[in-house]
Each structure stands twice: as C-alpha cells, then as structure tokens.
A and B are shown apart, each in its own frame.
Chain A
Amino acid sequence: MARTLINAPKTAKRGDVIEIRATIGHPMETGFRPDESGKILPRNIIKKFSCRYNGELVFSAEMFSAVSANPYLAFHTLATESGTLALTWEGDNGFSQTENITLTVA
C-alpha cells in the first residue's frame, strides 16, 4: 500500500465547487533509466487516475513516463449529494489502490 496525502472538504453546500488534492507515494520509474550495473530498470509508473463520485466518473487522468515521482493532482467537482468519492490509482505490475473519502452535502 502506497502512502497518500489527500486534502478534500468533509462538508459542502449543494452546488459548491469543491477542490480535491491528492498525492501518492510512487517511484514513477520511467523505463529509460539504467541502474548502477547499466541494466535498464523496468518501467513502473501509474498509468491512470480516476475519481468516482457515488460511482459516477467525475475526473480521470492518464499519466506517462514524464510525470515525476510521487505525483500530485488537484481537480474540482460539483457537490451534488452526500456520499463517497473513490480515488483510484492504477499502474504497472498490477498496481491498484483506492482511497475513499466521505463528503456530506447539506
């Protein structure tokens, strides 16, 4: 399990635009770099990030080798109803991690 830093409001008014910031600890090894012995290190990156708000996809991003380690993403969505925002990172070697945050909409 990779460590994450997530910053999102716990409560919002209906119709508010809320900002979600998420950082995940990941090496984002490019697949182009040699190690000390000169052998190319296999690529190990996060390829896709998505955020589902009560199951509905509200934001997604594709990532490539050029993205630096421990990628940080900030995005906005409209607060419509109380529920769960599921943040999912997927990548090489079957990497998949989901963090759920709860949002209460008044």
Chain B
Amino acid sequence: MRLLVFALLFVAASAHSQSATATDKRLSGSAFMAASTQAMQNDDTLNPGMLWVKDGEALWQKPAGASQKSCASCHAQISMKGVAARYPAFDDVLKRPITLSQRINQCRQKHSQAEPLRFESPDLLSLESFVTHQSRGMPVAPPDDQRLDSYRQQGQQRYTQRIGQLNLSCAQCHDTNAGGRLGSSQIPQAHPTGYPVYRLEWQTLGSLQRRLRNCMSGVRAEPFAYGAPELVELELHLAVRAKGMLIETPGVRP
C-alpha cells in the first residue's frame, strides 16, 4: 500500500515537472532589447511609432478616390479591434492569402475607387499601424481556415530552407541559435508581434516584409518583392509560430 502511495506520488511529481518544462519559452523581440529601448517602446510619448499611428488615425477619416469614401465611412473604428491579430487571412476574391496592408489596398481600390498605396509608403504604413495598434495587448490569433493550410506548409518549408550565398535558413538563426549573437546583436526568436516596428537602425517605421527582405539580403539571397506570395507564406508561418503571443504594435527595435 505504502509502495503504491509512493508510486502515485512519483507519477504526480513527474507529471508536474513535465508541465513545468512545457511552459511557453517563446519571447518577443522586445525581451532581447536593452532596458532603454524597452522604455522607449512602452511609453507612448517616447515611442516614435506613435507618430505613424496618429497619421493613420487622420488618414482613416480622410476621403479618398473617385467615391470620396474614407475608411471610416464603412468601418466604425471599434470594429478594427482584433482584426490585425488574424492577418494574413484568405481573401475570397483573390483566392489566396493576403496581408493586412494588401487588405487595406484592396479596400481602397474596391470601395474608395482610389489608387492602391505603394508598399512601404508612409501612408500605407500609417494605416497599417493605426489598425494594428488597436489590437495591442491581444494575442496573435491565426484563423482556423483550412484554405490556408497549404500556404502555411509552404511558409514553414521556406522558413527551414537554406538560401543565399551564406546558405542559411531562417530556422538556423532564429530557432537553433536564438539568444546567441550575430556580431554584436542578439538573435531574437523572430516573432512578428511588434510590426510595423520603428527600427532605430532604419530611423523610420517599417513593415514585417521589409524586415524579412532585410534578412534575405543579409544572407546574400535575392529578396522577394514586396507583396510577393512567398513573403505572405512566410508571414503565415510566423503568425502560427507566434500564436497566442501579445501584439505590441508599434514596437521599437534596435
């Protein structure tokens, strides 16, 4: 009997330690930053990304295109909360996944009958920041949509695919060597929770695709063009990897 109790205790103890090791070891990029950079991100009056959020707020109200409709003509502002957490998502019309910035441009063309905004243009980044900022503090929630499965698999494959003259995959740095150093900078785990981010090195705000292209030229590969399906697939995979992590937009990164 006593043996049985010990055995049960042992099982309970090992189950407990197992749940302890199963806790989430994922860390946002901000966890790898210096305290001063973290303070800059956390204080809205210091965070330069808020300049773009404010610009986006004004643009949201501004009529555009032939129909002279603004974003606000269709969307009550409150309805954008949590939207960014679900992107990239499958588009019924295009029959492929699109990012939030592509969705904004879709809306501009279809409803405002306006010219699409150029990728990485200040206006598009501002609108994207304004919409994403409304999901700050919410968990990344990739949609449970089977139509996305094959694209996610493609994205995962690309994440582990060696590319460029340096012959490195995303996973080799951001999974195997995350927390280590590349030159003087620490390698983060590549969770896209703060995008669009204000990067001090860029001295401006930039999209996740700019960051991805940056990494690609870093390993001396030919970067995919902005909006390319390959980048959207990578974004889809990154969203699944970061599922449940909290959105920080606008993030500040060194």
Contact = CB atoms under 8 A, between A and B. Distances in A.
A22 B45 CA distance: 8
A10 to B, nearest CB: 14
A35 to B, nearest CB: 15
A69 interface: yes
Interface in A58-94: 68-70, 72
B45 A3 contact: no
Contact of A23 (B51, B200, B203, B204): B51
Given A5-B45, A7-B45, A69 B50 contact: no
B50 A5 contact: yes
Contacts of A68: 200, 203
* Chain A interface size, under 10 / 10 to 19 / 20 to 34 / 35 or more: 10 to 19
Given A68-B203, A69-B203, A70-B203, A21 B46 contact: yes
B216 to A, nearest CB: 19
Contacts of B45: 5-7, 21, 23
Interface residues of B, number: 12
Contacts of A15: none
Contact of A25 (B44, B46, B51): B51
Contacts of A3: 51, 54-55
A3 B250 CA distance: 16
A69 B54 CA distance: 17
Given A3-B54, A3-B55, A70 B48 contact: yes
A29 B244 CA distance: 39
Interface of B: 44-48, 50-51, 54-55, 200, 203-204
20 contacts: A3-B54, A5-B45, A5-B47, A5-B48, A5-B50, A5-B51, A5-B54, A7-B45, A21-B46, A23-B48, A23-B51, A25-B48, A25-B55, A69-B204, A70-B48, A70-B51, A70-B203, A70-B204, A72-B46, A72-B48
